[in-house]
Amino acid sequence: MRSLPYDSASRRLFIDPRQDAFVQNPYPSYAALHEAGGDHGPVVFWEAYDHWVFGGLNAVNALFRDRRLGRQILHRTTREALGWDAPHSHTADFDAIDARSLLELEPPDHTRLRALINRAFVSRHVEALGPEIAAETNKAMDAFGDAPDLLADFAEPIAGNTIARMLGIDLLHVPQLLAWSHAMVQMYAFGRDRAVEEAANAAARAFTKFVREEIATRRQGPGPDLLTHLITAHEAQDRLTEEEIISTMILLLNAGHEATVHAMGNGLRTLFLASSDERMRWLADPEAMTEEILRHTPPLHMFMRYVLEDCELYGAPFKQGDVIGLHLGLANHDPRAMPAPQRFDPSRVPVKNVAFGAGIHFCIGHTLARLEMATAIPMLFARFPNMHMAETPRFKNAYHFHGLESLSVSL
């Protein structure tokens, strides 16, 4: 086992998630944690995060579904009982969006909201986007210069324009939407500071104003788009409130491109590092290749959960209000669940992964993300078969996100 800053007796992990060697390649550390873990995989107290983290595939899968855990806690208790400070005024606009987000809610609010959104975000809306994704892919490639950045010039316009079209938003707004989204997701990265919080709040405030204006426009002139469906979706006499539509729109716009862009970039990097024969073999089965990309180099490595009631989880005791981490990167590399998890192998049957989570918060946009990757990546290599990386790409220092800073190529 490689040297690892881990005390097996106390199960304390001392890795700094901002350390460059770890950011650039966390997988050797993950392998060492699995080697040190028990029957259920790694169960460690990560000192930097100040909470327990679970990393076995079966354990993570089960905990995503465990109703003793949740994305929020204040529906069960109070800030005072938890010893929390009052909400920060400088993040009020961001918090208002977060409070109504499908990603954060628990039943019964989550059940109601997801039922209404599902009526708009049905599979036929996604499946019909295949030709549009192909058209966006060709459009991006047509605009390439001599040394394009496949994140900014390929993945971002495909993912950003696709979700914007789906929502009925003018594509001229996409660059601004991406900028707001980038600022907002920094709230979830390790070690955020006051400047990050203020930038995210300013973005949230501007984003909210933009979406409110889009809603007003759509009420005056409904269209065949997802925003109109969100406005008109109903279950019996129940409808989404305007504040819920705003939070949902922002979630779909943010999640609809952030994770996909980094998943696509991570996958392209893996394909470039392979031999041409391996790459051509993998590209021949786009769906299997996409699934293995999501397992092998997922764009998000950890989701947090609150403990809703006193309990014991895999030998570790918890009190109501405790935070735990469900580690997707570790789980997707669990040697107990798959042979040679470090190897990129789309022929795995089945490809087991939790890249999109599990349970009631399973990513609502997983079909769209998979379709975009399976469509765009083969088209790219078919058009530019001699393309190669112009320089070794680096991963952003924004753990627990795992995505490249850029991916410059020579055509």
Domain ranges for the chain: 7-410
Cα(first)–Cα(last) distance of the chain, in Å?
A: 41
Environment class of residue 295 by beta-carbon count within 10 Å: exposed (0-12), middle (13-18) or buried (19+)? buried
CB contact at 8 A, 73 and 321: yes
CB contact at 8 A, 263 and 373: yes
Per-residue pLDDT of the chain (411 residues; tens, 9 = 90+): 456 899 999 999 999 999 999 999 999 999 999 999 888 999 999 999 999 999 999 999 999 999 999 999 999 999 999 999 999 999 999 999 998 888 888 988 898 888 877 766 666 667 778 999 999 999 999 999 989 999 999 999 999 999 999 889 999 999 999 999 999 999 988 989 999 999 999 999 999 999 999 999 999 999 888 899 888 876 556 788 899 999 999 998 888 788 899 999 999 999 999 999 999 999 999 999 999 999 999 999 999 999 999 999 998 999 999 999 999 999 999 999 999 999 999 999 877 899 999 999 998 888 899 999 999 999 999 999 999 999 999 999 999 999 999 999 999
CATH number of 7-410: 1.10.630.10
- Residues ≥6 apart with Cβ < 8 Å to 99: 247
CB contact at 8 A, 258 and 181: yes
CA–CA separation, 117 and 122 (whole Å): 8
> What's residue 236's pLDDT?
58
Which residue, among 347, 328, 88, 101, has the nearest Cα to 207 in the 3D structure? 101
Instruction: Supply the Cα-derived Rg of the chain in whole angstroms.
Output: 21
233 CA to centre of own chain: 26
> What's residue 1's pLDDT?
42
Which residue, among 264, 300, 7, has the nearest Cα to 136 in the 3D structure? 264
CA–CA separation, 98 and 353 (whole Å): 27
Helix or strand or coil: residue 43? strand
Structure tokens at 48: 């930097």
CA–CA separation, 383 and 143 (whole Å): 13
Which residue, among 230, 203, 205, has the nearest Cα to 102 in the 3D structure? 230
Q: Quote the pTM value.
A: 0.93
166 CA to centre of own chain: 19
Which residue, among 400, 405, 260, 258, has the nearest Cα to 330 in the 3D structure? 400
